[in-house]
């Protein structure tokens, strides 16, 4: 009997990560599911004998390094790596504490890099493998009060582009997935981890109001899909011999994302400020 290929999914306790773990197990993979919440990992493992779980807080480099040592000692290589873990904080550049920015980079970028480094030797030896980096439409555009999160995704896009070329000779495929708004716990986490918004300087309140009003206007809650659309896309791409470098899915990917890619920086700034209403705002 042929051994099942091994997949690793970060941020597996909810949303896109959880759905992807389910889908991979159903497709015949053994799945290592990583996440912070031990209770949720327990319920995830009970769904299939092919799912093993590991508690990992990706904001803590020492925990990431310990997990990387385990990866290197595995008897078989990781065949599919889904770098899904990530979160956002919101606020204008002047007001977000630098420690909060550092922690977000630790989770969204540095731990992702380290886990990828740990998986690559096995993939290179096997001359095959898949790496899915969960970016965002924010990896190609940004909004007021969302600059720091977008910057982590811009960094991820650059890492993905470089890595894709570096490992192509080894038969390893690297794909960026760019979701628009997806119905997960993401928004709740943003609010919980951005307490400074409540004490924002009065001068910035009109900026926040304009930015949040615009986002509400372009994201009709009734049109926001659940995380299954992303896991289904990953499964669809896994079946392709020649995948595209990146795939977008969900709201705002059919209008705002193409608009940003088509416009130069000056045209985009003018368009964005006009759409949000910041072009006429004088404080």
Q: Exactly one of 29, 87, 105, 149 is catalytic; which is it? A: 149
DSSP state of 13: T
Residue 177 corresponds to which tokens in the numbers above?
């997935």
CA 85 vs. chain centroid, Å, equals 6
In the block, tokens 């416009």 appear at 263
Q: Where are the alpha helices (DSSP H) in 80-132?
A: 98-105, 111-126
Task: Say how far residue 158 (Cα) sits from the centre of its chain.
Answer: 14
Would you call 271 a catalytic residue per the annotation? no
Q: Return the structure tokens found at 167.
A: 């490992």
Tell me how crowded residue 191 is: count the other CB atoms within 10 A of its CB.
12
Q: Count of CB atoms within 10 A of residue 223's CB?
A: 11
CA distances from 12 to 24, 33, 178, 242 (A): 12, 6, 18, 27
The pair of three-digit structure tokens given for residue 27, joined into one six-digit string: 């497709």
Count of CB atoms situated within 10 Å of the CB of 153:
26
CA–CA dist 108, 148 (Å, integer): 11
| Among candidate residues 57, 141, 63, 156, the one with its CA nearest the CA of residue 103 | 57
Q: Which helix (H) or strand (E) holds 205?
A: helix 205-218
As annotated, the active-site residues are 149
């Amino acid at each position: 009997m042929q051994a099942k290929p091994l997949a690793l999914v970060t941020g597996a306790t909810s949303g896109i990560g959880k759905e992807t773990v389910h889908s991979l197990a159903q497709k015949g993979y053994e799945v290592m599911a990583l996440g912070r919440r031990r209770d949720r990992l327990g319920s995830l493992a009970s769904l299939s004998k092919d799912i093993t779980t590991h508690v990992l807080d990706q904001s803590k480099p020492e925990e990431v390094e310990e997990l990387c040592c385990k990866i290197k000692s595995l008897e078989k290589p990781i065949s599919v790596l889904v770098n899904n873990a990530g979160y956002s904080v919101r606020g204008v550049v002047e007001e977000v504490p630098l420690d909060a920015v550092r922690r977000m980079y630790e989770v969204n970028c540095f731990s992702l890099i380290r886990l990828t480094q740990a998986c690559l030797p096995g993939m290179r030896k096997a001359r095959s493998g898949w790496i899915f980096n969960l970016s965002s439409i924010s990896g190609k555009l940004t909004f007021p009060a969302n600059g720091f999160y977008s910057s982590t995704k811009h960094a991820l896009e650059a890492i993905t582009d470089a890595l894709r070329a570096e490992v192509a000779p080894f038969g390893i495929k690297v794909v960026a997935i760019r979701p628009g708004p997806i119905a997960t716990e993401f928004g709740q986490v943003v609010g919980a981890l951005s307490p400074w918004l409540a004490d924002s300087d009065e001068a910035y309140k009109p900026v926040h109001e304009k930015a949040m009003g615009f986002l509400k206007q372009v994201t009709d809650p009734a049109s926001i899909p659940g995380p299954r659309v992303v896991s289904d896309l990953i499964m669809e791409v896994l079946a392709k011999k020649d995948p595209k470098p990146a795939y977008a899915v969900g709201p705002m990917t059919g209008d705002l994302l193409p608009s940003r890619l088509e416009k130069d920086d000056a045209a985009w700034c003018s368009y964005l400020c006009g759409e949000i209403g910041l072009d006429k705002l004088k404080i």
